[in-house]
Chains A and B, each alone.
Chain A
Amino acid sequence: MITVYRKSPRLAHRVIEGEGFIVDPADQKLHHLNPVAAAIWQQINGKRDEAALAGELREKYDVDRGTASRDVKEFLNVLLREGLVEKVPS
């Protein structure tokens, strides 16, 4: 079974000049994403798993497979810890 990721439906978010901003209305916390993180965030759509997200990142930034996988994994862990994304069995 593959695990895909989706953004938490309670959030409001926006990308401005390549930077990501996520507001959690529950605690009014503002999360700020740098351009790489924002690029990954934009690809999270409830249909992509970790590998697919890493593939999107490699395409956008022309980085090697290992770097892309590591960056995506670390970022997803942060997002999961903060409750900003959800794992969905697919």
Chain B
Amino acid sequence: MKFGQITISLVWTILLLLALDFFSTTISLAFGIQHFHFAFEVLIILYLGFRFDFWVLPIIIVILMFFHSAFSTDGWQLGTTAGILICMILGVLRDLIHISSKVSTMIVVQLAQIGWFVVIATIISMKIDDFSLLQSRFLSFIPESILMSLIAPYFFVLLERIWDRNYSDGTQN
């Protein structure tokens, strides 16, 4: 992909992320959804990690997390750390992961989300010196992550349109 194409796709992705963050912080609260959080930024970064192998991918992750930090107190640092680590692992396992169906997409996304959770929760637990957070957060993380895994294949179709790729051809760059 050329640099110009990447920039345009990134701008659209940022707008999509901001709209989804607005939904998860305001609209869902207006409908009384207090206990559920929708981690759309994780899905976006997982999609980019699965599909692309650019050298600018870490910079794209930083930019996305920077915009996300306006709606979140995590800060860009936490999401960037988790995103880069997970994308590096995905880069190594790329040849082994075959996303050929919706079910396989859901399973792989679920496993990647668990990895993401472990990184973030471990860092936060180390910061507050209390590892019981891992256990308590994991129980609320499971239903949230299952929902995100279920919508992942359909969400990836939308991202495919933004990043201008054929979903079924499986080519990398």
A is bound by B:
no
